[in-house]
Amino acid sequence: MASSEVTQVSTNKMFGGYQKVYSHESKETKCTMKFGIYLPPQVEEGKKLPVLYWLSGLTCTEQNFITKAGAQKAAAEHGIIIVAPDTSPRGCNIEGETDSYDFGAGAGFYVDATEEKWKTNYRMYSYVTKELPEVISRNFPALPDKQSIFGHSMGGHGALICALKNPGQYKSVSAFAPISNPVSCPWGLKAFTGYLGDNKENWEEYDACCLVKKYNGPPLSLLVDQGKADNFYTDGQLLPENLVKACAESKMPIISRLQEGYDHSYYFIATFIEDHIKHHANALNA
């Protein structure tokens, strides 16, 4: 099932398939990276399957999604491989990389850093959009031309920018409580200044609200769920209304749902994960 390029860390049978974790040496991040991969039961039948990539949020690893989201049952039903990488490089011994929860380890923000201290290792954008899909295609029964992407919070930001910056690469995109407009929120200001420097034009290359205005590719329907009881929503970190406005101005289709009573946690994600997987299954199996 997998070549010597990747090393199996764990395997657990779920819903007729297998939830596995692998590690590999990344050329982009210059360190050992881990990713979770759910291989549904259709893999045992010799079928090649579409791939759905999940990007996690601040402080997360590959473990949060695979243990808390409850995505495997729907993935098995729809015959979709789900890949969940780590959020950032680990153990690079960069001064300050573990000083705060919202910058450095656990907070790669899915950009390719340009600032001197970070640019060698913090290349999560290229890792997610280039290297990881190549690793998956070489080592697993995946269809490289049928992939989609979704994520949560910082990972929702990552999913949106990956889809918007690469027209045609992903069949669909969705997000839970994404950091929709990072150039305008405290998390984004801190991360982008640290990773990308002071030139705000460079920041806009990693902001969904900016990217949607110049998107020029195949139709890309967006699905975004936001909990109304999410403290990061009420504190102005997420700004989903800015994304809705940018999509309206650009005539980009978006389904944006405010969910009463839900917060920023995986309880929220688990509640609506089946909706999101159906959203992607409709595109991937079309």
Under 8 Å between Cβ of 67 and 36: no
* Residue 176 three-state SS: strand
For residue 153, CA distances in Å to 14, 103, 132, 150, 175 come to 26, 14, 21, 10, 8
Kindly state the DSSP code that residue 238 receives in the 8-state scheme: S
Residue 71: count other Cβ atoms within 10 Å of its Cβ.
24
Catalytic residues: 153, 230, 264
For residue 127, CA distances in Å to 5, 148, 286 come to 15, 15, 27
Q: Using alpha carbons, select from 144, 177, 143, 135 the residue that is nearest to residue 160.
A: 177
Task: Please tell me the number of Cα atoms within 13 Å of 16 on its side-chain side.
Answer: 15
Burial of 23 (0-12, 13-18, 19+ CB in 10 A): middle
| Six token digits for residue 12 | 């657990």
For residue 76, CA distances in Å to 16, 24, 235, 274, 275 come to 8, 25, 37, 11, 14
Q: Which residues contact 248 (CB under 8 A, 6 or more apart)?
A: none
